[in-house]
Chain A
Amino acid sequence: MLLQQLTNGLMLGSGYSLVAIGFNLVFGVLGLLNFAHGGVFMIGAYVGVVLIVIFKFNIYLAILGSMVVCSVLGLVVELLAFRPIKKEHHLAPLIATIGLTIIIQEAAIKVFGPETIGFPKTVEIQNFNLGPVRISSVQILIFSTSILLMMGLHFFIKLTKVGKAIRATAEDSQTASLLGVSINQITVLTFIISSALAGAGGVLIGLNYNSVHPFIGMNMVLKGFVIILLGGLGNVTGAMFCGLILGMIEVLSVAYLSSSYRDAFAFLTMLLILVIRPSGLFGLRIHER
């Protein structure tokens, strides 16, 4: 039933939004398409599994733990693929992050094996009926956590001094540094925040699909591309909305069309939108870097 599918899509999409926001944050502030975001996402999912299975964490602690580990990983990405490369080279950092993603992916295959593993059962599956729609406790968990984190980020960026510094750097890094903002610190912070969100997203989406394997990172990055293009490059709010939209499109097209058309729909929509409105659905200006 349509409403049910839309709701499912919304729940799934919230996880996508979480990852896409981090992706867009790095692009907005640093002008970098961070391919390694996918790698971090994938590691986040695995860390969640490890924490639950081996350390007997509950789901909330697992999400937290994953965020912490991924923050560190994000720092590593910054140190290796971003900092050593001078700003005037536009494509080199992109390829460096691709190289890094390959390394992370291979490392995961080494340590965890290439097979798909299921996400451990930690949440009691209860189904609630919200009017005509049925929601599982898992979905509620995913949705509420994502919204919570996104709102946290939103308030952080809007209200705190550091958040303002981030926005200033995204607008005009030269002026920001003249005004006393340490671009280095902001860069590091941006990577850490974005990676933490990716980690949380990894756990949540792994929980949703109940499967984790080393290649989900690549898959997520590609979805991330679509989302941030639709939502407007650099536009964090746009990324959030379009993550939800993508979730709904995916669920709908699997339900009503064959699953191989699933990705086609997303890309075709993206192409059409780009041609008609190159700044994306929510984008206001085209950032030229």
Chain B
Amino acid sequence: MILYIQSILTLIGINILLALSFYLPFSAGMLSLAQAGFMGIGAYTSSVLTTKVGLPFLPALIAGGITSGIMGIIVGFPALRIKGIYLLLMTLGFGETVRIFFLNFEYTGGAYGLGGIKQETNICNLYIFIFLLVIFFLKITRSQIGRTFEAIREDEGAAEGMGINLTRNKIFAFAMGASIAGIGGGFYAHYAQFIDSGSFGIPQALEIMIFSIFGGIETFWGSIFGASILTILPEWLRPLKEWRLFFYGFILLLMMILRPRGIIDKHLVGSLAYKWKSNKQVRN
């Protein structure tokens, strides 16, 4: 039983990382379906470093994140000029290219995948990282950076007119998102102990996007919530056996009709924060 809960919590943690990696560029107006691809790059890089080069987990994980980040910068430049749905499809294409690359790359196992990865991920290191990431997002949101991203998302032309350097900010958001996805990939690889290109394709890319949109696009808490609920949901639906996926699709459809901005919205976060602050005052 404990093992089961641990495994669920680990999956939730990894999905939270991935959802946040989607949310960061999204908050600056960039719709990216490349996060699964960046996840794959991070997963393969960190796994190769631990299994073939013998690096310890943490440096390998970070190296995976950095590699993804660099790829994010490279992809980010052509992405600067592309907007909206176009960007969605272009990033999708990039993700697929990554998948097909690893499908054929013999050094990392090609179609057979990469196995024998040590089990390094545990609740501890994963959630410490998530905790740090939440602090990062909290700081960004209520600061210059968060405001700048929101302005870019609202109206790029006006943002530029008010002195905002679009290139620097967008590349930052995109590359950071890529790194976070890469680190998520590293955690995933050292949890599942086996990875292949099929784990980083279009269904996964869409799933990551759905975490954020379903959970709530107005704040980063939405992505955390969405990733958690949608990871647990298939488990809850297990009693439904073969109807499981059917209900999953049904819930997606229903939610988008009822609450298109996602479940968590600014009001909710605002009122919860207000309660927290006033409780704090009462206690003092």
Interface set of A (CB-CB < 8 Å, partner B) = 27, 31, 33, 80-81, 84-86, 89-93, 95-96, 98-103, 105-107, 109-110, 218, 222, 225-226, 229, 233, 260-261, 263-264, 267-268, 270-271, 274-275, 278, 286, 288-289
Select which of A90, A105, A261 is within 8 A of B104 by beta carbon. A261
Instruction: List B contacts of A89 (CB < 8 A).
Output: 260-261
Instruction: List B contacts of A101 (CB < 8 A).
Output: 249
B259 and chain A: residue at smallest CB distance: A92
Closest 5 CB pairs of A and B: A102-B249, A99-B252, A92-B260, A99-B253, A264-B100
Q: Is A103 touching B246 in the complex (CB atoms < 8 A)?
A: yes
A100 and chain B: residue at smallest CB distance: B253
Q: Is A278 touching B202 in the complex (CB atoms < 8 A)?
A: no
23 chain-A/chain-B pairs, Cβ below 8 angstroms = A81-B256, A89-B260, A91-B217, A95-B210, A95-B213, A96-B256, A96-B257, A98-B210, A99-B252, A100-B253, A110-B242, A218-B203, A222-B96, A222-B202, A226-B93, A229-B90, A233-B86, A263-B96, A267-B97, A271-B94, A274-B89, A286-B83, A288-B84
Binary per-residue interface labels of chain B (190-206) against chain A in the complex, 1 for a CB within 8 Å, 0 otherwise: 00000000000011001
Most A C-beta atoms less than 10 A away, residue of B103, B111, B256, B257:
B256
Q: Is A233 touching B85 in the complex (CB atoms < 8 A)?
A: yes
A90 vs chain B, min Cβ distance (A): 8
Instruction: List B contacts of A31 (CB < 8 A).
Output: 85
B77 vs chain A, min Cβ distance (A): 9
Q: Is B251 touching A267 in the complex (CB atoms < 8 A)?
A: no
A39 vs chain B, min Cβ distance (A): 10
Interface set of B (CB-CB < 8 Å, partner A) = 31, 78, 81-86, 88-90, 92-94, 96-97, 100-101, 103-104, 111, 202-203, 206, 209-210, 213-214, 217, 242-243, 245-246, 248-254, 256-257, 260-261
Q: Is B81 touching A278 in the complex (CB atoms < 8 A)?
A: yes
Select which of B85, B214, B246, B256 is within 8 A of A289 by beta carbon. B85
Q: Is A80 touching B82 in the complex (CB atoms < 8 A)?
A: no
Q: A102-B245, A263-B96, A288-B84 are in contact. Are A274 and B90 (CB under 8 A)?
A: yes
Q: Cα distance A2–B265 when bound, in Å?
A: 57
Q: Is B97 touching A106 in the complex (CB atoms < 8 A)?
A: no
Select which of B101, B104, B260 is within 8 A of A85 by beta carbon. B260
Q: Is B86 touching A95 in the complex (CB atoms < 8 A)?
A: no
Q: Cα distance A81–B215 when bound, in Å?
A: 18
A33 and chain B: residue at smallest CB distance: B85
B207 and chain A: residue at smallest CB distance: A98
Q: Cα distance A263–B100 when bound, in Å?
A: 8
Q: Is A106 touching B86 in the complex (CB atoms < 8 A)?
A: no
Instruction: List A contacts of B243 (CB < 8 A).
Output: 106
Select which of B97, B100, B248, B257 is within 8 A of A102 by beta carbon. B248
Q: Cα distance A106–B250 when bound, in Å?
A: 11
Q: Is B100 touching A95 in the complex (CB atoms < 8 A)?
A: no
Q: Cα distance A33–B85 when bound, in Å?
A: 8
Q: Cα distance A100–B88 when bound, in Å?
A: 20
Instruction: List B contacts of A229 (CB < 8 A).
Output: 86, 89-90, 93
Q: Is B83 touching A81 in the complex (CB atoms < 8 A)?
A: no
Q: Is A270 touching B93 in the complex (CB atoms < 8 A)?
A: yes
Q: A110-B242, A261-B104, A286-B83 are in contact. Are A274 and B93 (CB under 8 A)?
A: yes
Q: Is A260 touching B250 in the complex (CB atoms < 8 A)?
A: no
Instruction: List B contacts of A107 (CB < 8 A).
Output: 246
A95-B256, A99-B253 given; name 20 further pairs at CB < 8 Å. A89-B261, A91-B217, A95-B252, A96-B253, A98-B206, A98-B249, A98-B252, A99-B249, A99-B254, A100-B253, A106-B245, A222-B202, A229-B93, A233-B86, A261-B100, A263-B100, A267-B97, A278-B81, A278-B86, A289-B84
A104 and chain B: residue at smallest CB distance: B249
A132 vs chain B, min Cβ distance (A): 33
Q: Cα distance A286–B103 when bound, in Å?
A: 33
Instruction: List A contacts of B257 (CB < 8 A).
Output: 80, 84-85, 96
Instruction: List A contacts of B81 (CB < 8 A).
Output: 278
Instruction: List B contacts of A99 (CB < 8 A).
Output: 248-254, 256
Q: Is A271 touching B97 in the complex (CB atoms < 8 A)?
A: yes
B246 and chain A: residue at smallest CB distance: A106
B275 vs chain A, min Cβ distance (A): 28
A92 vs chain B, min Cβ distance (A): 4
Q: Is A275 touching B78 in the complex (CB atoms < 8 A)?
A: yes
Q: Cα distance A103–B203 when bound, in Å?
A: 15
Q: Is B92 touching A225 in the complex (CB atoms < 8 A)?
A: yes
Instruction: List A contacts of B203 (CB < 8 A).
Output: 218
Instruction: List B contacts of A222 (CB < 8 A).
Output: 96, 202
Q: Cα distance A261–B206 when bound, in Å?
A: 23
